[in-house]
């Protein structure tokens, strides 16, 4: 069993504060990194230590400086690194560098990330174990001719997706051949800018499906459990904006089948740490695997509230070598994982309604939060006097509400 004295958080904003809180509750010291643009950000004041990173780099590139982050972690005697979500969270190279430097990476292994973090590879894994998937290509589309050929064979509408993507970036719905090539190149360019990889794959687009995802946790000893499902169907520009758990208007049989298939996929690679297996549910009630995110999710709060299980603390304890069914982790065997009541999460962001709700910037003059029984706030940069910069996500706070009935 490993003992973490100090954990570095390779992230910023709301998720950095969330990880800092989990570490502090476990008695672990925390180290924050911040870009020069984040000099006054709230998260860096919450940790025990805080250091400037990427001083000669751009605002996003600073948080992608693998060598500099690893060097700082070694210099400051860090035992482990938590990547949060976004930035380096799904980067196998970063996870491998941590391992090579003797630093524990709080997440899955690089091999697991490589297999499941890539949408095409994970889809092939699902097909190999009999989990249904949406009809689509089995490798990245490289040319205009390949894109046209698949679309003609599959029929419109189709969905273009960045293989290494997330957060709705590199995704396009195409409904006719006229728009195909323009959207194909647009998706490739967006994927390259966001993820450094422009691989695009294509699949049949399902009209108005339910988007259901299953939270899983696996330890280092082959034990894997699911914490039931979340409904993430309410989206804007292919990005989730409202999430709730458990999903309603799905039958007990559908819930059981979806959760069972999520475990099959996780077990196929002996998955370790926290992950989310995502499915689409069509109007006929059939479910299809679409991807697995090998990291913590923005919407993990709703699952924590209805199960009473702290997922971020569980990540840290699993990385230390604790078993899922041990008293320290506090996750019982699968048959004893229960849900209670309903939870909904929404995101409060700075946006301009007169400009198609584009992210907005400026100083916050007045800030009042929600409050009351069943209200949980996960703060980012929301407070009176805060200056919202144009460089990062415009999230101020996540609000999660709970009650016994939906």
Q: Indicate whether 355 belongs to any domain.
A: no
Query: What is the Cα–Cα distance from 24 to 10, expressed in whole angstroms?
Result: 16
Q: Are residues 85 and 146 in the same domain?
A: no
pLDDT of residue 167: 66
Q: Are residues 94 and 156 in the same domain?
A: no
Q: Indicate whether 116 belongs to any domain.
A: no
Residues of the domain holding 220: 210-340
Q: Which residue bears the tokens 């996960």?
A: 378
Q: Are residues 218 and 336 in the same domain?
A: yes
Angstrom CA distances, 11 to 37, 60, 158, stand at 14, 11, 34
Contacts of 193 (CB under 8 A, 6+ apart): none
Cα dihedral sign, 152-154-159-163: negative
User: What would the mean pLDDT of 343-356 be, rounded to a whole number?
Assistant: 94
Q: Are residues 237 and 309 in the same domain?
A: yes
Q: CATH number for the domain including 311?
A: 3.30.470.20
Q: Are residues 152 and 274 in the same domain?
A: no
Q: Are residues 323 and 223 in the same domain?
A: yes
Confidence check: pLDDT of 166 > 70: no
Closest by Cα among 84, 97, 113 to 13: 84
More confident residue, 1 or 20: 20
Largest CA distance in the chain: 59
High-pLDDT (> 90) share of the chain, %: 74
User: What would the mean pLDDT of 346-370 be, rounded to a whole number?
Assistant: 92
Confidence check: pLDDT of 125 > 90: yes
Q: Indicate whether 391 belongs to any domain.
A: no
Confidence check: pLDDT of 273 > 70: yes
Confidence check: pLDDT of 51 > 70: yes
More confident residue, 205 or 137: 205
Query: Domain end: 204, 219, 242, which one?
Result: 204
Q: Indicate whether 94 belongs to any domain.
A: yes
* Confidence tier at 115 by pLDDT (50, 70, 90): confident
Query: Domain end: 305, 325, 340, which one?
Result: 340
Q: CATH number for the domain including 16?
A: 3.40.50.20
Query: What is the Cα–Cα distance from 188 to 199, expressed in whole angstroms?
Result: 7
Contacts of 260 (CB under 8 A, 6+ apart): none
Distance, C-alpha 387 to centroid of its chain: 26
Q: Are residues 150 and 36 in the same domain?
A: no
User: What would the mean pLDDT of 384-389 be, rounded to a whole number?
Assistant: 92
Q: CATH number for the domain including 143?
A: 3.30.1490.20
User: What would the mean pLDDT of 342-362 be, rounded to a whole number?
Assistant: 94
pLDDT of residue 199: 86
Q: Are residues 296 and 233 in the same domain?
A: yes
Q: Indicate whether 377 belongs to any domain.
A: no
* Rg, C-alpha atoms of the chain: 21
Out of 46, 97, 161, 240, pick the active-site residue. Answer: 240
Query: Domain end: 287, 311, 340, which one?
Result: 340
pTM across the whole model:
0.88
Task: Determine how β-strand 210-218 pairs with β-strand 224-236.
Answer: antiparallel
Q: Are residues 181 and 219 in the same domain?
A: no
pLDDT of residue 165: 65
Q: Indicate whether 126 belongs to any domain.
A: no
Domain tally, the chain: 3
Token pair for residue 331? 């996750």
Query: How confident is the prediction for the chain on average, in pLDDT?
Result: 93
Q: Are residues 187 and 277 in the same domain?
A: no
Q: Are residues 192 and 159 in the same domain?
A: yes
Q: What DSSP line would sit under 70-93, residue for residue?
A: HHHHHHTT--EEE--SSTTTT-HH
Q: Indicate whether 401 belongs to any domain.
A: no
In sequence order, the β-bridge partners of residue 230 are 213
What does DSSP assign to residue 355? G
Q: Are residues 251 and 178 in the same domain?
A: no
Q: Indicate whether 117 belongs to any domain.
A: no
The question of whether 240 is a catalytic residue gets the answer yes
Task: Determine how β-strand 287-293 pairs with β-strand 375-379.
Answer: unpaired
């Amino acid at each position: 069993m490993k003992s973490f004295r100090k954990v570095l958080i390779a992230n910023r904003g709301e998720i950095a504060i969330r990880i800092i809180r989990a570490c502090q509750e476990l008695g672990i010291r925390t180290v924050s990194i911040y870009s020069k643009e984040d000099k006054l950000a709230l998260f860096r004041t919450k940790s025990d230590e805080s250091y400037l990173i990427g001083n000669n780099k751009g605002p996003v590139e600073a948080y992608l400086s693998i060598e500099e982050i690893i060097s700082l972690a070694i210099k400051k005697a860090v035992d482990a690194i938590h990547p949060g979500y976004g930035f380096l969270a799904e980067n196998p190279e970063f996870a491998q560098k941590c391992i090579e430097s003797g630093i524990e990476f709080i997440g899955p292994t690089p091999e697991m990330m490589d297999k499941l973090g890539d949408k095409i590879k994970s889809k092939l894994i699902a097909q190999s174990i009999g989990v249904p998937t949406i009809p689509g290509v089995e490798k990245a589309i490289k040319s205009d001719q390949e894109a046209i050929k698949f679309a003609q064979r599959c029929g419109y509408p189709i969905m273009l997706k960045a293989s290494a993507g997330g957060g709705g970036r590199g995704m396009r719905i195409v409904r006719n051949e006229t728009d195909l090539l323009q959207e194909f190149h647009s998706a490739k360019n967006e994927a390259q800018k966001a993820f450094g990889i422009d691989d695009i794959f294509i699949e049949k687009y399902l009209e108005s499906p339910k988007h259901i995802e299953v939270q899983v946790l696996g330890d280092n000893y082959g034990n894997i459990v699911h914490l039931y499902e979340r409904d993430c169907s309410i989206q804007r520009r292919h990005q989730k904006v409202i999430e709730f758990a458990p999903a309603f208007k799905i039958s007990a049989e559908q819930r059981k089948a979806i959760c069972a298939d999520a475990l099959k996929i996780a077990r196929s690679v002996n998955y370790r740490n926290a992950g989310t297996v995502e499915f689409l549910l069509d109007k006929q009630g059939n479910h299809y695997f679409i991807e697995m995110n090998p990291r913590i999710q923005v919407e993990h709060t709703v699952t924590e509230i209805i199960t009473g299980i702290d997922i971020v603390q569980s990540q840290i304890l699993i990385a230390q070598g604790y078993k899922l069914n041990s008293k320290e982790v506090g996750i019982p065997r699968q048959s004893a994982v229960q849900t209670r009541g309903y939870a909904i999460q929404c995101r409060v962001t700075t946006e301009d309604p007169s400009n198609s709700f584009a992210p907005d910037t400026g100083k916050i003059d007045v800030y009042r939060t929600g409050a009351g029984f069943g209200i949980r706030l996960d703060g980012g940069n929301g407070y009176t006097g805060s200056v919202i910069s144009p460089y990062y996500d415009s999230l101020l706070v996540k609000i999660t509400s709970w009650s016994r009935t939906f």
